[in-house]
Structures are given as C-alpha cells and as structure tokens.
A and B are shown apart, each in its own frame.
Chain A
Amino acid sequence: MYTKSNSLAGMNSQVQGQRIHLVSPPKSAMAPINGFFEWFGDLGIFFWRVVRAAVTPPFEFRELFRQLDEIGSKSLPLVALAGGATGVVLSLEARYSLTRFGAKSLLPAAIVFSVIHETGPIITGLVVSGRAGAGIGAELASMKVTEQIDAVEASAVNPYRLLAATRILACILMLPLLTLAADFCGLLMGWVTQALVEPLSLHQFINAGFNGATFNDFLPPTFKTAFFGLIIGSIACFQGMRTQGGAAGVGRAATSSVVLSSLFVILADVVLVKLIIILFP
C-alpha cells in the first residue's frame, strides 16, 4: 500500500521518486526559474537606487555631458549608416512588391511610413544596444572587477549617481535624436535608390511620401525610443555593475548586455507599437 509514511521513507525508489517529483520539483529544475525572478528582483532594486540617486543632488553634469558625447555623437556614424542601408533595402523591396500588385504610386509613402514608424526606431535601438550596450557593460564590468567602482564608493561618491544614472539618462536623451538621424538617412537613401531607377525629384518624393502624414505618425514612434534608451542603459549598467570573476566576467557582462538589451528592446517594441496604435489612432 502506498502511504504517506512510505512515500517519504522510500524516496530512493524510482517510482516513488517520480511521484514526489510532481509535488516538489528538484532544485536543479527550479534553479533557472529562481534565477529568472532573482534577476528581475535585483534589476528592480538596482533601478530604484539609480532613480533615487538621480533625483537627489549633487548632479553629475560633467559626466552626463561626457556620456552624451560617448553614446550620442560616437554612435551617430553607425546609426546613420544602418539607417541609410535600411532605406536602400526598403526601397528595393517595396518597389518590387508594390509593382507586382500595381501600387507603385504608393512607393514614397510606403518608404516614409516604414522608416518613421518602425524601421528607423528599431534599427536605432538595436544598433545602440550593440554599440553602447556592449561598451557600457564592458566598461563598468572592467571597473567592477578591478575594484574601481569600490574606489568610487570609498571616495564618498555614489556610483549609482556617477556611473549608472548618467549613462542611463544619456541613453534616454540620445536615442530619439539618433532615431531622427536614422530616419533622415533612411528617407534620403530611399529617395536616392528610387531616383536611380526612374526620375523622381526629392520634392516629389517628400510630397508623395508625407501626404496625409500627421505628427501622430512621427512623434510617438520617435519618442518611444527614449524607452529603448532606458532599457539599454539600465540593463547594460546593471549587468556591468554586478559582474564577478575577472576577464571572463567582463566578457560575459558585455555579451549579456547586448543580448538582453536587444531582446528587451524588441519585446518592448511589441508593447509600445500596440500602445501607440491605441493612444494615437
């Protein structure tokens, strides 16, 4: 007979072991789930500390301007290039598809709406998460393993304020501006690609492309990238500042910063696109 007492006493038995497994999963199975919730919990605590440090003086304006340059100006060429390349690809693909369905006249509008609604913002988010996310993650991780972050703290300077808040704020402020650059390059290269196939002036392209467009088509998608900036900055700083274990740890922090921030940018985009459709019909 299978009783409560022998179920506990006979844990070595394979059959009974399986039954117990259903009630109480082994530690190894729970570890990833625990790790997942622990990571979110730690991220929440980290973010709360950063917010608290960011809104109380002294403000680290010098470091903020340095980060605006590091994240903004230095990402600009890459973002512009990626935006331009996307414009070319969009233009070629859309031309092929729309011509097949007899809607070639909609080509400028298709390019403009694709670029400003989605491609520009998401390309900017992914490029910045690759460049700045890896840079922030690796820099802070290297500072962590060489005790430089401890040295900041020992010098009576709040590292959440000096190192994290400035980088996160710089990401938030620069992402919309970089998106404008990506949009501009995408539209410009989209027009150039069209103009190379058949004569089309920039004036005609803009008139046809922006016909019927409102600020609701332009502002919400551009400003949603501030949220991407928040994600990229927070995750990269968090992964960097919790690093352990020498050079290998620095490598892991840089990789996880890029992977996680890219993943969360894409996931956030899904939610934000739906929200924008609801709030700005």
Chain B
Amino acid sequence: MQTIDPVAIEPEQTVRDAAASAVGVEDLHKSFGSQKVLNGISLAVNRGETLAVLGRSGTGKSVLLRLVIGLEKPDSGSVCIHGKDIAGLSLDQLGAIRMRMGFLFQHAALYDSLTVEQNVAFPLHHHRKKMSKSEMADRVRQLLAEVGMESGFAKMPSDISGGMQKRVGLARALALEPDILLLDEPTAGLDPISAGEIDDLVLKLQHEHHMASIVVTHDLHSAKTIADRLALLNEGKVVIEGTFQELQQSDIEFVREFLRHS
C-alpha cells in the first residue's frame, strides 16, 4: 500500500517522474474564487497504464482532467505531457499537444448541429486534410464500429441514447489515434448493462491502442475493472494511490469509509 502525502514527496523525484511519464502533474493547485479545488496534486501516468481518479462529488476530479488537457490553467504547479510543460503555451502550440490526446466529456459534448458521422469526422476534417472523402468516411465507420456502433450514422446526437452518445464521444476522442486518453465519468448516468459495455470497450481499446489513460469516476466497480492504479482524492489532495487491493488494505479512515459506501 502506498499512501501519498504531497508534502513528504521529494520535489526533484516528482519532477523527474512527471517528466518521464506520458502525463505528469506536479504540486497542482487550483481555486475558483475563494473555493480551493485542488491543493497540491501530484500524479504520473505511463504509456499503456490506466489510472482511475476517484473521490466524492466536488473534489476536483473533472477539474484535474481539464487541467491536464489545458482547458483550465493551474494557479501553481505543472502539467507535463510527454515531458513538456504545457504552461504558457499558446492555443495553437497547445493544439499540437492536444492532437495526441483524446478527451471523453462527462455528457459526451457532441456537436448538436452535426450528425453522428460528422461528429466523429470533425477532428479528421481539421487535422487530416490530405485524407480523401472516401478514406475519411471509411475511417469514421471503422471508428464507430470499434465502439460498437454499426448503424445510425446519420442520426443527430439528440436522437440517440446517452450510452450511444458516450460511444460516439469515444469514437471522436480516438479519431486522431491519441496516445493519451482522458475519460470524464464514462459510465455516469448509464444503466448497469450499458456501463459494463462501456467498461469492456475502454478495456478493449486500452489493450489495442496501448494508451496512457486517466479515468475520472466515482463508480468504484468501473474503476476496479478498467484501471491498473487508483488514486482517491479528498479535499483537493490525493489521499491514497495504489492498486484496488492496496486501497482495500488501507487503514485510512476516509478510504475505508469511501470503500464501505461504494
């Protein structure tokens, strides 16, 4: 079992870990007004590894993902993607890094004026300009097949179920063949069968694409299924980081309470 106390971590060691990893965050602080959301988070995820970030609602799990992809700026601390600190990069410079990252939003965030097919084609249209129309159509269908969608390509996002929207969102996130995948509550709001299907899908994609993944969830069962390591957040800090077994063996009161209620 490994309990993390941010104060006790050697700064040089953390920087080295963060720089060597696919995703490395170090001593991350973030506040919104007077509300302190993240209070010194340090994590690292390597290629081929899945980290599940768990915690109560409002503990800053989604904010952490938004900081990793640069949608929010940290108050202090650093976010390194493949060893490159993304602080201070312009939107276009950040774009070059984001092309190697896929992001599944909590509510899928599909473009409601585009069809399912056009949603998946969106990143390809902008970043694979040399692709012919037929190549692009083939690639879109391949991506949709990969997430288990064989029909309904011409439907609008509002005409498909929440589970389907998540699948389309996942296909869009995979369009540019990222090597980092960020999933924000992939099973939230889904029935147990759909949630299980999404978990299986994430596992399959992980196996096939060998990406570094961070999955934010408060579904412990899902986290246990898809993640190699789990990090539990409370009050903006990592309370514990380790395998599910290590969490189970923890004698930290918050960890025991979280597991008891999950």
Give the CA-CA distance A202 to B233 in the complex, in Å. Answer: 78
Pair A153/B71 contact, Cβ less than 8 Å: yes
Which of B102-110, B138-146, B204-212 faces chain A?
B102-110
A34-63 to B contact mask, C-beta < 8 Å, 1/0: 000000000000000100010010100000
Give the CA-CA distance A53 to B126 in the complex, in Å. Answer: 15
B100-133 to A contact mask, C-beta < 8 Å, 1/0: 0101011101111000000000110011010000
Contacts known (A151-B111, A155-B98); A56 close to B92, Cβ less than 8 A: yes
- Is the CB of A15 closer than 8 A to any CB of chain B? no
Pair B127/A156 contact, Cβ less than 8 Å: yes
- Is the CB of A148 closer than 8 A to any CB of chain B? yes
Least CB distance from A23 to B in Å reads 27
Pair B111/A53 contact, Cβ less than 8 Å: no
> Which of A53, A146, A151 counts the most chain B CB atoms within 10 A?
A151
- Is the CB of A114 closer than 8 A to any CB of chain B? no
Least CB distance from A69 to B in Å reads 14
- Is the CB of A255 closer than 8 A to any CB of chain B? no
Pair B105/A151 contact, Cβ less than 8 Å: yes
Smallest CB gap from A49: residue in B: B91
- Is the CB of B96 closer than 8 A to any CB of chain A? yes
Give the CA-CA distance A147 to B157 in the complex, in Å. Answer: 14
Contact among A49, A147, A156, A160 with B98 in the assembled complex (CB-CB below 8 Å): A156
Pair B95/A157 contact, Cβ less than 8 Å: yes
- Is the CB of A271 closer than 8 A to any CB of chain B? no
| Chain A residues positioned under 8 Å from B255 (CB to CB) | none
Enumerate B183-231 residues with CB–CB distance to A below 8 Å.
Answer: none
| Chain B residues positioned under 8 Å from A193 (CB to CB) | none
Least CB distance from A61 to B in Å reads 12
| Chain A residues positioned under 8 Å from B109 (CB to CB) | 146-148, 150-151
Least CB distance from B227 to A in Å reads 21
Chain B residues with a Cβ closer than 8 Å to the other chain, count: 26
| Chain A residues positioned under 8 Å from B103 (CB to CB) | 151, 154
- Is the CB of A158 closer than 8 A to any CB of chain B? yes
| Chain A residues positioned under 8 Å from B129 (CB to CB) | 58
Contact among A148, A150, A157 with B112 in the assembled complex (CB-CB below 8 Å): A148
Smallest CB gap from B105: residue in A: A147
Give the CA-CA distance A153 to B71 in the complex, in Å. Answer: 8
Pair A155/B123 contact, Cβ less than 8 Å: yes
Pair A146/B112 contact, Cβ less than 8 Å: yes
Least CB distance from B82 to A in Å reads 15
- Is the CB of B172 closer than 8 A to any CB of chain A? yes
A134-167 to B contact mask, C-beta < 8 Å, 1/0: 0000000011001110110111111010000000
Smallest CB gap from B96: residue in A: A156
Least CB distance from B125 to A in Å reads 8
| Chain B residues positioned under 8 Å from A58 (CB to CB) | 126, 129
- Is the CB of B99 closer than 8 A to any CB of chain A? yes
- Is the CB of B22 closer than 8 A to any CB of chain A? no
- Is the CB of B69 closer than 8 A to any CB of chain A? yes
Pair B126/A155 contact, Cβ less than 8 Å: yes
Least CB distance from B228 to A in Å reads 24
| Chain A residues positioned under 8 Å from B94 (CB to CB) | 156
Give the CA-CA distance A155 to B125 in the complex, in Å. Answer: 11
Pair B107/A147 contact, Cβ less than 8 Å: yes
Enumerate A98-149 residues with CB–CB distance to B below 8 Å.
Answer: 142-143, 146-148
B75-95 to A contact mask, C-beta < 8 Å, 1/0: 000000000000000011011
| Chain B residues positioned under 8 Å from A146 (CB to CB) | 107, 109, 112
Smallest CB gap from A153: residue in B: B71
| Chain A residues positioned under 8 Å from B105 (CB to CB) | 147, 150-151, 154
| Chain A residues positioned under 8 Å from B106 (CB to CB) | 147
Smallest CB gap from A157: residue in B: B126
Least CB distance from B170 to A in Å reads 13
Pair B91/A155 contact, Cβ less than 8 Å: no
Contacts known (A56-B92, A146-B107); A154 close to B112, Cβ less than 8 A: no
Smallest CB gap from A162: residue in B: B126
Pair B101/A154 contact, Cβ less than 8 Å: yes
| Chain B residues positioned under 8 Å from A53 (CB to CB) | 91
Contacts known (A147-B105, A155-B172); A160 close to B91, Cβ less than 8 A: yes
Give 9 A-B contacts (CB < 8 Å), ordered by A residue.
A49-B91, A150-B71, A151-B172, A155-B122, A156-B95, A156-B98, A156-B126, A157-B126, A158-B91
Known contacts A154-B101, A157-B122, then 18 further A-B pairs from the complex at CB < 8 Å, ordered by chain A residue: A56-B92, A58-B129, A143-B111, A146-B107, A147-B106, A148-B112, A150-B66, A150-B71, A153-B91, A153-B98, A154-B69, A154-B105, A155-B98, A155-B126, A156-B94, A156-B98, A156-B99, A156-B127
Query: B residues touching A (Cβ–Cβ < 8 Å)?
Result: 66, 69, 71, 91-92, 94-96, 98-99, 101, 103, 105-107, 109-112, 122-123, 126-127, 129, 172, 176
